[in-house]
Chain A
Amino acid sequence: MNFLVVGLNHKTAPVEVREKVAFAGPKLEEAIAILNNSSTVKENIVLSTCNRVEIYAGVQDLESGEEGIKEFISKFHDVPRDLLDKSLYIHKGSEAIRHMYRVASSLDSMIVGEPQILGQLKDAYDAALKNKSTGVFLNKLMRKSVSVAKRIRTETKIAESAVSISFAAVELAKKIFDDLPSKSFMLLGAGEMAELAARHLINNGVSDVYITNRTQSRAEELAKEFKGKVVLFHNFIDELHYSDIVICSTGAPDYILTKDQLHKTMKDRKQKPMFIIDISVPRNIDPDINDLDNVYLYDVDNLQGVIDTNIQERAKEAEKAEQIVESEIGSFLKWLDSLAATPTIVALRNMAEEIRKSELEKTYTKLGPQEEKTIKAIEHLTNSIVNKLIHPPTAVLKSDDEDKEQMLDIVQKLFNLDLERDNNDKT
């Protein structure tokens, strides 16, 4: 059995191609069913997300497996082969294992470290389990991939820091306030990015929400959605002292909140800290207010700066993660090797045992009935001879020698072992 990945992702294929070959909804089970019946593919997992479409397969022969899968994708989606060949990547053997580890650990993702992909991979595996499309091989690889991903999450900081404006805003809020649910929040204006950040804050438990907007009806709409209260736009400054967190994104051409105004607000709220995020361009809040005590003002560039440092940080951590992947590949290959040796060892042992039994039978018929003591002695003698004879080859097969493939071959030839038959006997 060998391992193969055929797929494409955001790096190799534009969205027009990706959407054509996606296995969305019912198509997924259909695809698994077809692959299950394929003669070249023994085991399969089909992963289809908006950034990647990949088929993980256990195949007997790499060449025919690759061809079979490519043909299958082309036919299934009715996509010409030459278009596919341009976008598809193929990983074989240990390369394929590396690829699956990297995908699971989000090292191959558009934004390195974003954890969604692991969940998507697990979903793909669930679909495979449901349709019984995996066996020992992919099951083990899948389990291993999940544990590698988890190891990387705990041992590196790859997924630690925020890499989007709204996540960065929440991350900062958590370093200013100790308990977000007890804080109140005002949304000034209704820009798209501000809305996203607001939603994220609310997801983190902030429930006392105030909304104000130049267009009253828009404010009411948002208030409904966020279960908040509407504040009239022309007197939002009077209500400002209730708010611990302010997100601002109006279309105003200049400052709608000045240092003096906020100075007064801070007095009204007895200097309790305030976190103000100004996402508007041009900026709507006087940048000088950051000089006020207990006021923390972040504009779009500041947040982007936070994100950039975090992305650099992730890139550094990704290097550590790649090392973990490498070491884990080694341990998986070792397991594969032992898997390859086991049938040969079993076959060798069976063969020896068969010879011993048939020879014993012959001897017993020749000798006639014997005392139990004698029978025991003969059994013991033959057993030790057999064990001593097959011990050295077994030991070699179990070892980690580099020329093990060759050894397996030699042992099979020397003893004329028929692996297929033995394996079938076993299962």
Chain B
Amino acid sequence: MQIEFNVLCFELALTFYFLATIAGFIELFKSKKTSSKIALYLSLSGFVFHTINIIIRYFEGGHIPVTNMHEATSFFSWCILILFFFHEFKYKLGLLSSFIMPIVFVLMFSAAIFPREIKVLSPVLQSYWFGIHVIFAFLGDAAFAMACGIGIMYLIQERYVKSKNLSKLFMKLPSLQTLDDINYHLITLGFPLLTLAMITGVIWANSAWGSYWRWDPKEVWSLITWLIYALVLHLRLTVGWRGKKAAILSIVGFAIVIFAFFGVTLILKGQHTFM
């Protein structure tokens, strides 16, 4: 019975995210000057069910539910939503939901496809490092996802300003500087989180398997991600790669995050494949 309720919550969350994505798209094309809050309210509703789902899974599994692809992807989108709501309420950026909710929905949809049974965490992995490592890693990736969404917004707005073609969408999107600033601040949030995730991961790997670094595909791709974002920050601070270049890099960076997330597990197989 409890399992069924838990599944129901997941499906409801997925449905609400789908509706929020649709509402976000409508928002892009309609000519009203004030952006409505429908997409935000729909995503908040979905988030409530999503949170219940994650809490139930937490208590059933006894640890943060990220031990199979279904759980990990669902938890990933949950982390993105936390950052999304934070930014939505703090900065009130017009149309943010139109660019973030599609990412959330696609992740949730892939979560829905993966098998859902709760796996027991093998004793070798049971350690408090697990929780810390996982939270850093997922929040870091979520910050990169947000940076990617904001980067897309930047590129669209930049095109309008450069080409002098000021559409309705131009009026509704935030200013270039706002988008660039938030993109930068998300990467300065994501990068230290990723760094901490790698440090805790290395310590945990040593306690679990007795070696710090084993060139596991996940580890390699995490390192590549880390290098990419280190480069983004470095170029910005030294030669002023801001604006358009920073936006493109944050989209490329997130593409690598996504490959590291899905590709490594599904194609390359490594210690992080829990199936």
| Interface residues, chain A, with chain B CB atoms under 8 Å away | 157, 160-161, 172, 174-179, 266-267, 269-273, 290, 293-294, 296, 298, 302, 305-306, 309
Contact = CB atoms under 8 A, between A and B. Distances in A.
Contacts of B33: 157, 160
Given A296-B162, A298-B164, A306-B166, A178 B241 contact: no
B166 A296 contact: no
Nearest to A270: B240
B184 to A, nearest CB: 12
Nearest to A182: B177
A267 B238 CA distance: 11
A178 B175 contact: yes
Nearest to B32: A157
B161 A178 contact: no
Contacts of B131: none
Contact of B161 (A175, A293, A305, A309): A175
Interface string B145-186: 000000000000100011010100011011111101100000
Contacts of B57: none
A292 to B, nearest CB: 10
B166 A309 contact: yes
Interface of B: 31, 33, 157, 161-162, 164, 166, 170-171, 173-178, 180-181, 239-245
A390 B257 CA distance: 82
A293 B243 contact: yes
Contacts of B164: 298, 302, 305-306
B161 A294 contact: no
Contacts of B162: 290, 296
Contacts of A160: 33, 171
A304 to B, nearest CB: 11
Contacts of B171: 160-161
6 contacts: A157-B31, A270-B242, A272-B240, A273-B243, A293-B244, A302-B164
A290 B175 CA distance: 18
B245 A293 contact: yes
Q: Which of B166, B178, B181 has the most CB of A within 10 A?
A: B166
A49 to B, nearest CB: 27
Given A272-B240, A272-B242, A296-B161, 13 more contacts: A175-B175, A176-B175, A177-B175, A177-B177, A178-B174, A267-B240, A271-B240, A271-B242, A271-B243, A273-B176, A273-B243, A294-B244, A296-B162
Contacts of A272: 240, 242
Given A157-B31, A161-B171, A273-B176, A176 B245 contact: no
Contacts of B176: 175-177, 273
B243 A294 contact: yes
Nearest to B167: A309
Nearest to A174: B175
B159 to A, nearest CB: 12
Nearest to B246: A271
Nearest to B241: A271
A273 B177 contact: yes
A293 B242 CA distance: 9
Contacts of B173: 175
A169 B33 CA distance: 20
A293 B241 CA distance: 9
Contacts of B241: 271
B27 to A, nearest CB: 15
Contacts of A161: 171
A378 B164 CA distance: 85
Nearest to B170: A175
B12 to A, nearest CB: 35
